């Protein structure tokens, strides 16, 4: 999006450089199962400032004294976890890059999460782009004066807290076989914490333990990567470990309830030029006559599953639980990133860390490029110059 940097990058790009980049990205780890794009995104200062302003508007809502009251119904009754803390530790806001009425690039909120993203991998990805391609010094993947040393210190504070690294673990159902496992390994290398599958953790009384070299070690803090929506139909997995919904003596990073509180459920409460009109389906008295301009989304789904893009009145009337759906005005992505074969649509995820007792800090970003109907790897399998990447922002 910064024309001079884009032209230079495209001119100097070769398949050999890209293959070398992928090999270096995987070196010391394993084959990455998701597509990494051929290019980073070069984000001009004006767009960066809009992205920052949009994020600040959302955070203002989250910090309202009545935010928990507003979002209490977002948490499914059968997935409420006790001992919720006062704040999330992670905030991620996904913005589609669009054009406004003046023809200028602007962000529009697509999705939001009070849940961690690839906080380790994105540093590794950006550094690998820098080492394999000639990235100009006028851009940086860290915003607001952040640098790698400051970032790692803050990341440690958020994830480890007051504990020792061996008392903290990244946890997912089958952690080492997740598509995002490379992020777990990069994070482990960066912070020194354990990587544990759910079944590696055992409950004794109210405490949790894992075993290493024949010794039981108490797990005091969980860097949670387990998404309940993905295991809702298979709760038997908890039988050989522990059920997060029980009253247990462990700290959560971030507490599972925040996954629901900061989500699609939050969007109808936002009134901003950076947020498309969004309403709970059960609160719509009259179905819009221009449904071609809307998208229908289930509140409780992950990675775009269940989204209806071409909405009909029948789709709406057939939904048995309208309280669990939102109707959102469509966002028109601008193919603003120029590849050798034409424009590509982009999405920028602004990623914040929020240490206990402190203020949320914008730290890093994740970007995705798309030629398909939706942003996301599964919708872009047959294209090049698409996939996961990172934004380098003009200083």
Query: Which stretch of 116-130, 136-150, 319-333, 371-385 has the lowest confidence by average pLDDT?
Result: 371-385
Task: Please tell me the predicted confidence (pLDDT) of residue 33.
Answer: 93
Q: How do beta strands 251-253 and 221-224 pair?
A: parallel
pLDDT of residue 78: 87
Q: What is the pLDDT of residue 229?
A: 74
d(CA 245, CA 240): 15
Question: H or E element: which one contains 364?
Answer: strand 361-370
Amino acid 262: pLDDT: 97
Rounded distance between C-alpha atoms, residue 178 and residue 225, angstroms? 10
pLDDT at 374: 60
Q: What is the pLDDT of residues 20-47, one digit of tens each?
A: 999 999 999 999 999 999 999 999 999 9
Least confident of 4-8, 104-108, 237-241, 243-247: 237-241
**DSSP E strands: which ranges in 78-226?**
90-99, 105-113, 139-140, 168-172, 194-197, 202-204, 207-212, 215-219, 221-224
Q: pLDDT-based confidence at 377, cuts 50/70/90?
A: low
Q: Yes or no: say if 245 and 273 are a contact pair by the CB < 8 Å rule.
A: no
Residue 53: predicted pLDDT: 97
- Given this model, what pLDDT does residue 237 score? 86
Domain range annotation of the chain? 3-276+349-394, 277-329
Longest Cα separation, the chain: 66
- To 5 degrees, how large is the angle CA 303–CA 306–CA 308? 115
Would you say residue 155 has pLDDT above 90?
A: yes
Q: What is the mean pLDDT of residues 61-80?
A: 94
Residues 6+ apart with CB under 8 A from 277: 328, 329
- Cα torsion 310, 312, 315, 321 to 10°: value is 100
Over residues 354-366, mean pLDDT: 96
Q: Percent of the chain at pLDDT above 70?
A: 96
Is residue 366 within 8 A of residue 121, CB to CB? The reply is no
Write the pLDDT tens digit of every residue in 290-305: 999 999 999 877 656 7
Exposed e or buried b for every residue in 12-34, given b needs 16+ CB within 10 A?
A: ebeeeebeebbeebeeeeeebee
pLDDT at 376: 59
Does 9 score more than 90 pLDDT?
A: yes
Q: Is residue 187 predicted with pLDDT exceeding 60?
A: yes
Classify 9 in phi/psi space as left (phi over 0), alpha (psi -120 to 50) or beta: alpha
Measure CA of the first residue to CA of the last residue in the chain; give whole Å: 14
Q: What is the DSSP string of 266-324?
A: GGGG---TTS--EEEGGG-SS--S-GGGEEEEESS-STTTT-BSS--HHHHHT-S-GGG
Position 230 scores a pLDDT of 77
Give the model's confidence band at 233: pLDDT under 50 very low, under 70 low, under 90 confident, else very high. Answer: confident
pLDDT at 234 over 90: no
The model's pLDDT over 73-99, given as tens digits with 9 standing for 90+, comes to 999 888 899 999 999 999 999 999 999
> What per-residue confidence (pLDDT) applies to 302?
61
Q: Rounded to whole angstroms, how far apart are CA atoms 207 and 220?
A: 8
Full 3-state SS string of 15-65: HHHHHHHHHHHHCCCCCCCCCECCCCEEECHHHHHHHHHHHHHHHHHHCCC
Confidence of residue 227 (pLDDT cuts 50, 70, 90): confident
Mean pLDDT of 343-351: 97
* Cβ–Cβ under 8 Å, residues 203 and 229: no
Q: What is the mean pLDDT of residues 56-61?
A: 97
Q: Stretch 95-107: mean pLDDT, rounded? A: 96
**Whether residue 119 has pLDDT greater than 90:** yes
Is residue 380 over pLDDT 80? Answer: no
Please state at what angle helix 148-160 crosses helix 181-191, rounded to 10 degrees.
100
Report CA-CA distances (Å) from 96 to 13, 99, 332, 369, 381: 25, 10, 8, 10, 20
- What is the pLDDT, as a whole number, of residue 381? 59
Q: What is the mean pLDDT of the chain?
A: 94
Distance CA 168, CA 191 (A): 10
Binned at pLDDT 50, 70 and 90, residue 156 comes out as: very high
pLDDT at 303: 59
For residue 83, give every residue at least 6 positions away whose Cβ sits within 8 Å of its Cβ, in sequence order, or none: 247, 252, 255
Please tell me whether the peptide bond between 254 and the residue prior to it is cis, using omega within 30 degrees of 0.
yes
Cβ contacts of residue 65 below 8 Å, gap of 6+? Answer: none
Span 251-265, average pLDDT: 95
Q: What is the pLDDT of residue 264?
A: 92
Helices (H), the chain: 3-12, 15-26, 45-62, 67-70, 121-132, 148-160, 181-191, 257-261, 313-317
With a cut of 60, say whether residue 350 has pLDDT above it.
yes
């Amino acid at each position: 999006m910064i024309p001079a940097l884009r032209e230079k990058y495209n001119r100097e790009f070769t398949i050999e450089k890209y293959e070398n980049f992928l090999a270096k990205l995987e070196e010391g780890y394993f084959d990455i199962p998701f597509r990494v794009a051929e290019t980073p995104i070069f984000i001009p200062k004006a767009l960066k400032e809009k992205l920052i302003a949009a994020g600040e508007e959302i955070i203002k809502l989250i910090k309202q004294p009545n935010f928990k009251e507003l979002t209490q119904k977002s948490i499914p009754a059968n997935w409420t976890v006790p001992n919720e803390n006062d704040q999330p530790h992670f905030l991620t806001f996904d913005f589609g890059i669009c054009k406004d009425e003046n023809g200028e690039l602007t962000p529009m909120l697509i999705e939001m999460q009070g849940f961690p993203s690839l906080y380790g991998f994105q540093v590794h990805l950006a550094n690998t782009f820098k080492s394999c391609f000639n990235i100009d010094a006028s851009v940086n993947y860290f915003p607001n004066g952040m640098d790698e040393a400051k970032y790692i210190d803050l990341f440690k504070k958020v994830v480890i807290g007051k504990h020792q690294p061996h008392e903290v673990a990244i946890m997912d159902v089958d952690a080492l076989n997740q598509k995002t496992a490379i992020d777990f390994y990069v994070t482990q290398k960066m912070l020194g914490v354990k990587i544990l599958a759910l079944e590696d953790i055992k409950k004794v009384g109210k405490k949790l333990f894992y075993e290493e070299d024949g010794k039981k070690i108490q797990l005091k803090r969980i860097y949670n990567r387990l998404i309940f929506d993905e295991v809702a139909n298979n709760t038997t997995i908890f039988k050989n470990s522990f059920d997060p919904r029980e009253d247990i003596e462990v700290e959560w990073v971030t507490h599972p309830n925040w996954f629901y509180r900061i989500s699609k459920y939050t969007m109808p409460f936002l009134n901003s030029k950076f947020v498309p009109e969004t309403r709970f389906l059960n609160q719509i008295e009259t179905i819009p006559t221009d449904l071609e301009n809307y998208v229908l989304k289930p509140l409780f789904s992950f990675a775009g599953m269940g989204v209806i893009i071409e909405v009909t009145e029948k789709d709406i009337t057939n939904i048995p639980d309208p309280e669990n759906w939102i109707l959102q005005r469509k966002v028109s992505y601008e193919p603003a990133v120029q590849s050798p074969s034409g424009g590509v649509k982009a999405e920028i995820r602004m990623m914040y860390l929020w240490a206990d007792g402190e203020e949320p800090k914008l730290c890093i970003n994740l970007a995705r490029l798309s030629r398909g109907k939706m942003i996301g790897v599964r919708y872009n399998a047959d294209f090049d110059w698409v996939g996961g990447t990172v934004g380098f922002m003009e200083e």
